[in-house]
Amino acid sequence: METCLQCGKTLKGRQDKKFCDSYCRAAYHNNKRRSAENKLAEVNRALRRNWRILTTLNPQGKSTLRKTYLFEQGYNFNFFTNIYRTKKGKIYYFCYDMGITEVDSNHICIVNWQSYMEGFRHPLGKTAS
């Protein structure tokens, strides 16, 4: 005999039945959707945290600091919204309008999105002029 996917009760009725009632069906699908939304919210929190860190550490528009200092502040290098590659091959990882690039193995340069980057691709949240 089959059991309800939500509560585990034994099912009666049609052979292909998956839930004992509409409450269990709705609860099952709500829980499934909530799980996917939680993952999305987690990514958004990490992006916002990264952006706040970069904004705080870069009040003048360009700053250089130790890579370990970003780690200490809670920056997560796995979360970014855009990648910009210069003609010389240098790569900037942007979190919305704030980007970082490696200066050397120990230092990072933080920059704001620049107007000359407009022809490439807009970071998320930035509108075309």
Q: Where are the domains of the chain?
A: 22-117
What is the percent of the chain with per-residue pLDDT over 70, rounded to a whole number? 88
Per-residue pLDDT at 4 exceeds 80 = yes
0.75 cut: is pTM over it?
Answer: no
In angstroms, the Cα distances linking 40 to 35, 37, 47, 57, 100 are 9, 5, 11, 26, 23
What pLDDT does residue 119 have?
61
Which H/E stretch holds residue 47? helix 22-57
Confidence of residue 120 (pLDDT cuts 50, 70, 90): low
In angstroms, the Cα distances linking 87 to 8, 84, 92, 113, 117 are 60, 10, 12, 16, 11
Bridge partners (DSSP) of residue 92 are 84
